[in-house]
Amino acid sequence: MKIEIAAEPQPISVELARTALLIIDMQRDFLEPGGFGETLGNDVTRLQAAVKPLQAVLAAARAAGLLVIHTREGHRPDLSDAPPAKVERGSPSLRIGAPGPMGRILIRGEPGHDIVPELYPIDGEPVIDKPGKGAFYQTDLESMLKNRAIKNLLVAGVTTEVCVNTTVREANDRGYRCIVLGDCCASYFPEFHEIGLKMIKAQGGIFGWVSDSATVLAALRGAR
């Protein structure tokens, strides 16, 4: 079954059986106080605005039988997959690997590394642990998509200008059609969020399309 999604720079028609919802890095370390995002001096409440609309899209995607994939950015406990340039960058109050209120910062298996309860994966939903910004870098995401003959990605998550944008660009180079749900993404910097979305849809959709939760929900309801 196909649905048409109103989007910028133009509507896009997708086949549901070849479409997946990709939720990027909705982790406690980024969205909750005491995590990595806050150690960088950010207001983490700005990311929480994406949770409610994404909850609705996630429920609709599950009801429609879409493949749902979650990602988490983080590193091995021994930091062997964390480049020194990343660990040493900037002046956070706590660096990657340091003990924090939710366990070691951005370390796999720690409470802060996990996904927020409101969007927690259910059985059968793959979780991709990635060491970098892009969801394709050093992961098996591409093989998962190819095994399911996925061609279209509904993309949501944080932050808009970093991990979302990087993943969309990676996906675009691999031939996937990305529809980014603007209100299901967020940034610590509102201006970066706005510009990040504009960059994706510029020049006739150079990296993809931009839509929103209400539009996608309406399209999915029409497919029933």
Strand 67-73 with 127-130, pairing: parallel
Cα dihedral 201, 205, 206, 210, rounded to 10, equals 40
The distance between the two most distant Cα atoms of the chain, rounded to a whole number of Å, is: 51
Other CB atoms closer than 10 Å to residue 146's CB: what's the count? Answer: 10
Distance in angstroms (rounded) separating the CA atoms of residues 117 and 97: 23
Q: Is 130 tagged catalytic?
A: yes
Annotated catalytic residue: which of 133, 163, 183, 185?
163
Q: Is 133 tagged catalytic?
A: no
Annotated catalytic residue: which of 130, 133, 185, 201?
130
Distance in angstroms (rounded) separating the CA atoms of residues 96 and 90: 11
Give the H/E segment covering residue 103.
Answer: strand 103-104
Q: Is 25 tagged catalytic?
A: yes
Which residues belong to the active site? 25, 130, 163
